[in-house]
Amino acid sequence: MSVRGVVKGFLYNLYSRRLRRQLQGATPPRHVGMIIDGNRRWAKLQERATVAEGHRAGAERMHEFLGWCDEAGVEVVTLYLLSTDNLSNRHDAELGDLVGIIADLAADLAEVPDWRIHHLGDESQLPADLASALGAAVESTAGNSGLHINLAVGYGGRHEITEAVRDIIREHEERGLGIDTLADDITLDNIADHLYTAGQPDLDLVIRTSGEQRISDFMLWQSAHSELYFVEALGPDLREIDVLRALRDYARRQRRYGA
């Protein structure tokens, strides 16, 4: 390693330790959401890298990201890996690569001791092999009590809310109740109980990579009072210090549940 590399590594480690000290005594967010962005742009910046290599590099970095969150005391992390919009607007070849990469990621995460996997999304819209891989990861980790990881795959916030309301209407009909009492069932608590995240805390912090500043149909209900943090780094370039900065920023904010 060059002298420059040694110095850079020393300064990085020094800064990381400083950030950790600043977080001592701070209450971490219970639930963190990650909108992974910039994998394709990252691939274009690499010499002869394919888009698939960009997505795989992003997935590998998300594995590390989960470890950083676990170490920081976060209880639940949701990774936004594949949206309902992606299923219709990505080329078949890229979508095929993504299916394999996400399936591999789910299998790898399921091997981490005590991590628990949960799938958020419409399974009926997914290729059978991906749905099977997600199902296997969920089943094999169901008894774990450590970091709870939501894999948002085939997910859309508006679609989730729509399906929750439809489920409430179906249950109302199954109980033999009439339309005149349906409005009584459409409550905040009842809708929340019919979301994919039923029983989980709402999002405290949402992080998005690549410098883009938009929510992209991600957990619209659960992020109603979330703090947002945007990182300039592309997905595969995300560093631990980027995450520590996000957690420090969250700890310094005075959360307001309103305007």
The catalytic residues are 37, 86
What is the SS3 assignment for 34? strand
Scan for tokens 């883009």, then name that residue.
212
Phi-psi region of 160 (alpha: psi -120 to 50; beta: other; left: phi over 0): alpha
Query: Contact 33/203 with Cβ under 8 angstroms?
Result: yes
> What six digits make up the tokens of 248?
């420090």
> What six digits make up the tokens of 69?
């969150």
Torsion (CA) 162, 163, 165, 168 in degrees, nearest 10: 170
> What six digits make up the tokens of 42?
């990252």
Long-range contacts of 165-168 (CB under 8 A, 24+ apart): 165/191, 165/194, 167/194, 168/194
- For residue 87, the tally of other CB atoms under 10 A from its CB is 19
Q: Please give the Cα distance from 169 to 181 (Å, whole number).
A: 11
